[in-house]
Each structure stands twice: as C-alpha cells, then as structure tokens.
Structure 1
Amino acid sequence: MLKDEVAKALKVVQDGGIILYPTDTIWGIGCDATNTEAVKKIFALKQREEAKSMIILLDTDNKLQSYVREVPDIAYDLIEYAENPLTLVMPGAKNISEALIAADGSVGIRVAKHPFCEQLIQRLRKPLVSTSANISGQPSPQNFNEIASEIIEGVDYVVDVDQHDTTLKKPSTIMRLAPDGRFEFLRR
C-alpha cells in the first residue's frame, strides 16, 4: 500500500539513507535535501562530480520561498500551467545542503505531481533530492526495468510503487528563471 511505502521510505530518509523511488517523470535517487552526508552518498553512488548539482522536489509551490531568496511571481504561473513536469533553476538557494547549491548559488526545484512524492515530502517536511537513477554519463532509465543493478543495490531502500509500470517516461523540462522573470530553456 502507498501509505506503508511512504512510511518505510520516510524512516530511511530521516535516518540519513538514500532511496530509489518513482516520480512524475523518471525514477529518481533521493534523500533529505538538508542532509549533506546523504547527498554525498548519492554523488558517490552515481559516480558524479559534485560540481554537477541535483534538483530538489517539493510537494507544493507555496514552499518555494522557503528554499529560494526571491521567487519571481511568474514561477507560480509556470508551475501551474506547464503541460509537462517542469524544473525551475533559480538563484538564491537557501535552507538546503550546500552540496546541492550550484556554484552560481542556484538550485533546480520541481513541484512533484506524484502521490508517493507528495506524501513523502509532506511527511518529511523538507525537500527531497531527485536525480536520475543511473550512473553519471549513462542514459536515464525510462522505467524501473531499465535501472542498473548497481543502482538498485547501492540505495538503502527501493520503493515498491510503480515498479511494474512499463510506460516510457522522460525527464522534466528545465528552465532557468531569473529574479526579474526572464527565463531560458536548458532542456525541453
């Protein structure tokens, strides 16, 4: 049951562990976005250089101002009206692990529209790290069956939700958004 899986994942994340979980896009590797040790475990598992930042997931856009100094008004409209999952990269990141903040001070944030993510983030009361479930440089898995065994074995918990869903998923659209509302697409 979803509630049970949320409870199990919550315990792992609160204890500083990393999880493999379904999102509204592709499967992700995640942890508590305020826990630097946990974030470093994900970099190690992905064999990813720490200069390449990872995004955070929120359950609702009204929490944006908790993690970004200045949220442009247009951010709320972009999130509300985006046809596909949208990650916004905004400057002025705050209240998250330094390991997640890019050299320019920005962070990528997506409001996840997936029941598991929404419930876990709500109960955690903190953002959840999300990065594709692959070794850095390898293709992103489009469903659970494509995730490498070293990733599955390298996390502390594999969430038992949507594992049998073979729908091919793709990563979110990524848009850089300046405080004045100017934006550019980084990935469509």
Structure 2
Amino acid sequence: MSVADAAAAVRDGLAVVYPTETVYGLGADATDADAVEQVFDLKGRPRDNPLSLGVPSVDAALDYTRPTEREERFMRRFLPGPVTVIVERRPSLPDALTAGRDRVGVRVPDHETALELLERTPPLTATSANRSGSPSVTRVTDLDDRIREGVAVVVDGGETPGTESTVVDPGRGVIHRRGAMADEIEAWLSKLQG
C-alpha cells in the first residue's frame, strides 16, 4: 500500500509498517498514548522498555525534545541517519512512549519513503517491526503474522540493509547499542571528551 494510505491510517490512530535505512519500523502516532499502547501490544513488548520517536528532521524533533547544545550539535551531525539519539523529552509526549522516563530516543531515518511518511504524520513510534525477542525484519514477507494482521497498512520498500541503528546518549557520552556508524560516533564523542 502507499505512503498516503499509511499516513491516513496513522491519523486515524492505527499502526503501520514502514521501511527505513536499517530495518522495517512499526509506527503509530507517538503523541497518542492509545496508539503507542497498540504498538506495545503488537510487539509483545514490556511496558517498561520505552519506544523511540520518529520525526522527519532535527527541527521537527525540537518540537518534542529539549536537547542541550552539545546534543543538538550531535543530532545535526548524524541525523538523518541510522542513529537513535537520546535526549530530554518535552511533556507533550505521553509517558506510555518513554515508560515514564524524562528522556526519549529520536530517529530521523535516512530513507526516502520513511521521510515521506513522517512529513505527512505526527511523530511516529520508531521501533522495529518484529515481535519482542525475535529478529528484526528486513523484508515484509518476514513479518510476524500478528504484526501483519494487526497493522492497518504495510508499506513495502523492498529489502532493507538490516543493520540496527546505533543508540547513543551524546550528552552523557554513552553508546547504549552499537550498530551502524558506531565507530564514527565513538570518534565524535571521544573528540569532545578529549
């Protein structure tokens, strides 16, 4: 189905699957607690394991987050890209998204289809479109039946590369998960700490 179909479904409070430059993502309106809960249910994910926020640009992220100057510099250097950047959230984001924490992971995918979708929707949940504990999905044919049947729209963008995003807290200088571009990110962090 099309990006327009997916955007309409998101605006109706439904979940969708969309391609990114890493793996397929499971998206719903990240500002709507009920839509966020739907994503947790579809993934079978524990509620204390927060979801990330997908936006079309760093400027869009600033409407929902409060990064420090250093964190914003990092975001502008590495986003869009296969990186999840952890920064302080604004109160407009529901506690359901962040498991009640005061910080949120931000994703700006470097993928034409994902960005087109994000331009047409509120911020989306940015989490892989797999059941918790199962491998990430790089082709729509690999989607778990519960996810495929539980979402309103699947946008097929062909096979994705499959390397997970690197999860980093640039304010604290910590890489939580090594993935794409991890060495480059580590070099940036160490240069600032040196």
TM bucket normalised to smaller: 0.7 to 0.9
- Aligned to 1:51, what secondary structure does the other structure show? coil
Note if contact 1:21-1:158 (Cα within 8 Å) is conserved in structure 2. yes
Note if contact 2:95-2:101 (Cα within 8 Å) is conserved in structure 1. no
The one-letter code matched in structure 2 to 1:108 is G
Partner of 1:19: 16
Q: Which runs of 5+ in 2 are unaligned?
A: 179-194
Residues 1:62 and 2:59 are matched in the alignment: yes
Instruction: Pick one of 36, 40, 51 that aligns with 1:39.
Output: 36
Residues 1:122 and 2:112 are matched in the alignment: no
Deviates more, 1:106-115 or 1:75-84: 75-84
How far residue 132 of structure 1 moved from its aligned partner, in angstroms, is 1.0
Cα 1:42–1:58 change in 2 (3 A) is: same
Question: Aligned partners of 1:186, 1:26: CA distance in 2, in Å?
Answer: 18
Partner of 1:183: 173
Partner of 1:173: 166
Give a deviation string over 1:64-110, Cα, whole Å, max 9, x none: 22111x31223343234439511011123432222112343111101
Question: Aligned partners of 2:91, 2:60: CA distance in 1, in Å?
Answer: 12
Partner of 1:6: 3
Give a deviation string over 1:133-156, Cα, whole Å, max 9, x none: 111111222333332222211211
How far residue 48 of structure 1 moved from its aligned partner, in angstroms, is 1.1
Note if contact 1:143-1:169 (Cα within 8 Å) is conserved in structure 2. no
Instruction: Pick one of 148, 153, 169 that aligns with 2:149.
Output: 153
Give a deviation string over 1:107-145, Cα, whole Å, max 9, x none: 110112211221222122x21112111111112223333
Question: Aligned partners of 2:46, 2:60: CA distance in 1, in Å?
Answer: 28
Equivalent residue pairs, number: 177
TM-score (norm 1): 0.84
State the Cα RMSD in Å: 2.0
The one-letter code matched in structure 1 to 2:35 is A
How far residue 57 of structure 1 moved from its aligned partner, in angstroms, is 0.8
